Amino acid sequence: MSLNRLSYYNGIGNLPLVGKTIGMLFDEIAERLPEKIGLVSRHQNIRWSYRQYKEKVDALAGGLVELGLKPGDRVGIWSQNNAEWAITQFATAKAGLVLVNINPAYRSHELEYALNKSGCKALITSPAFKSSRYIEILNKLAPELAQCQAGELSSKLLPELKIVIRLGTESSSGMYNFDDVMQMGTANSASKLDQLIEILQFDDPINIQFTSGTTGAPKGATLSHHNIVNNALLTGLTMGVGENDPVCIPVPMYHCFGMVIGTLLSVAQGTTAVLPGESFEPAEVLSAVQEEGCTVLYGVPTMFIAMLGLPDFKDYDLSTLRTGVMAGSPCPVEVMKQVIQEMNMEKITVAYGMTELSPVATQTVMEDAFERRTSTVGIAHPHVEAKIVDEVNRIVPLGEIGEFCARGYNVMIGYWGDEEKTGESIDKGGWMHTGDLATMDEEGYVKVVGRSKDMVIRGGENIYPKEIEDFLYTHEQIEDVQIIGVPDEKFGEELCAWVKLVEGQSLTEEALKAFCKERISHYKVPRYIKFVDSFPMTVTGKIQKFAMREAMKKELNS
């Protein structure tokens, strides 16, 4: 079989990769556009020009240096979306410190694991967020905080952690205040930061992000300046983002979507990053778009579904919107149609990737036909190779289902402190194995059909949940739907549908099954149907199908 009949595609880049650290990129933009608004945090009433933004970043970087933190030291951040998060992101990079993103949903056990696994020497924390009382959690994990001086923690459970910095104006025993650290810089620390510009290398690790860890302990994907600077630049280029394209960022900053494709992309393109709130609230997002004139909007499918589902959705003026990214999970075709038609996002792109890929590996382009943008996740990004392989790592023919793999500048350095897991994910050829099942067409466009572990095998038939989900989305009374497999004695597995109806609508199990039987093969009709108001999901809005499976096993006693 000739090579051009195999599922392999090499993304050709019109622009070369850049060899810059995050600090270099930030300073260049701040120097070129000092009076342009660089960051808006609406819930904090903050509007900073790039000059002001840089002053804040440099002040915190100087303070961190004065605290004795050295290049390579790990600094955790445990917080909801806010301006301090963005300052920390760029300040740690300028000081050569490795930023460790900690999920705002983490509780004590997960926090202890993340801090110790990454060896965090310092932690920047919000006092609280939603039902999580961060300061209380920290004091229980490290009761020594009550007796120690700030910066001198010696904890039994958190042996590496020495410095805790808290946001807000209140004082906490054993902790510095964020604003106070920003006042600590001296001429000496400023001189050290100037020297670091020449010393830091773009291949240095700069960020650790813990993956969801749906099986086993979370793994710390370690990314370099080079990984995320170029991914931010190329994702922005693919969307046609320029200096006059304010970017609305409702996705969590602790995740690649928020901090790479959000705040870093905004800096890379010299535009304004807009934080509509500390977490996703659909009305806040639409208000931000309307009042800030955002042309770019991000989200996972569930976020767009929530925005479209607002009773007063049509009252918002979204005429400035043009483009954006929908990613995080496969996009239902019907939802994409609504986003394009009703949110004015004619040039919206669909991106696919994972934290380990910095994060974007494939993306549709703005000129793609409607069908392409509603049924694929695009082609390999510039300077990225993509292939689809079988169980023995051989490239499959075009159109056949296999595992999606990517290779290029965007592949992570590895999992922090875990060579074994790194070796299981990145093969000797440098390919990142994603665990996602996909197909590729003759022009290199990739269609994701699901996670390998999500595939349902019913009586020997391979069933891909996304195919059935896309079909069920065509039912006008269904707002959202998720398909999972549950154990069955006769067939091995049976299909189960969790269905969320459009508000005010009603539908019976019998009617929905009848709808299916007329249109799809009998073995694809869900055996079990559960009507729900919501789905279990991560902070980033990703559906947790494993949690749904466990719930159904208990419900069915299987």
pLDDT per residue over 201-227, tens digit each? 999 999 999 985 434 567 999 999 999
The domain locations on the chain are 22-36+49-210, 456-556
151-155, 277-281, 326-330: lowest mean pLDDT where? 326-330
CATH superfamily of 456-556: ANL, C-terminal domain (3.30.300.30)
Please determine, for residue 246, whether its predicted confidence score (pLDDT) is greater than 60: yes
Q: For residue 213, what pLDDT is reported? A: 45
Residue 117 structure tokens: 């696994």
Q: For residue 329, what pLDDT is reported? A: 67
Q: How much of the chain, in percent, has pLDDT values that exceed 70?
A: 96
Q: For residue 216, what pLDDT is reported? A: 54
Q: Are 523 and 483 in contact (CB under 8 A)?
A: no
Please determine, for residue 529, whether its predicted confidence score (pLDDT) is greater than 80: yes
Top-confidence residue, 193 or 450: 193
Residue 428 structure tokens: 């000797």
- Kindly provide the b/e burial profile for residues 339-357, where b requires at least 16 CB atoms within 10 angstroms of the residue's own CB: bbeebbbebbbbbbbbbbb
Q: Are 193 and 181 in contact (CB under 8 A)?
A: no
Residue 462 structure tokens: 């391979």
Q: For residue 214, what pLDDT is reported? A: 38
Q: For residue 8, what pLDDT is reported? A: 98
**What is d(CA 231, CA 250) in angstroms, rounded to the nearest whole number?**
19
**What is d(CA 106, CA 461) in angstroms, rounded to the nearest whole number?**
38
Please determine, for residue 22, whether its predicted confidence score (pLDDT) is greater than 70: yes
Provide the whole-model pTM: 0.85
From the list 99, 47, 96, the residue with the least C-alpha distance to 75 is 99
Q: Are 235 and 265 in contact (CB under 8 A)?
A: yes
Q: For residue 400, what pLDDT is reported? A: 95
Q: For residue 546, what pLDDT is reported? A: 83
pLDDT in tens, 183-204: 999 999 999 999 999 999 999 9
Q: For residue 460, what pLDDT is reported? A: 63
Q: Please give the order of strands across the beta sheet that includes 46-49.
A: 46-49, 37-41, 273-275, 247-248, 296-299, 323-326, 349-353, 360-363, 379-380
Q: For residue 89, what pLDDT is reported? A: 98
Q: For residue 52, what pLDDT is reported? A: 98
Please determine, for residue 1, whether its predicted confidence score (pLDDT) is greater than 60: no
Cross-strand bridge partners of residue 405: 387, 433
pLDDT in tens, 475-498: 999 999 999 999 887 777 899 999
CB-count exposure of residue 48 (10 Å: 0-12, 13-18, 19+): buried
Q: For residue 298, what pLDDT is reported? A: 96
Average pLDDT, the chain: 93
pLDDT in tens, 355-406: 999 999 999 999 999 888 888 999 999 999 999 999 899 999 999 999 999 9
From the list 227, 217, 540, 264, the residue with the least C-alpha distance to 408 is 227
From the list 271, 310, 273, the residue with the least C-alpha distance to 288 is 273
Q: How much of the chain, in percent, has pLDDT values that exceed 90?
A: 79
100-104, 267-271, 522-526: lowest mean pLDDT where? 522-526
From the list 182, 234, 227, the residue with the least C-alpha distance to 208 is 227
Stretch 304-320: mean pLDDT, rounded? 96
Please determine, for residue 521, whether its predicted confidence score (pLDDT) is greater than 60: yes
Please determine, for residue 462, whether its predicted confidence score (pLDDT) is greater than 60: yes
Stretch 7-13: mean pLDDT, rounded? 94
Q: Any idea which fold 22-36+49-210 has?
A: Rossmann fold (3.40.50)
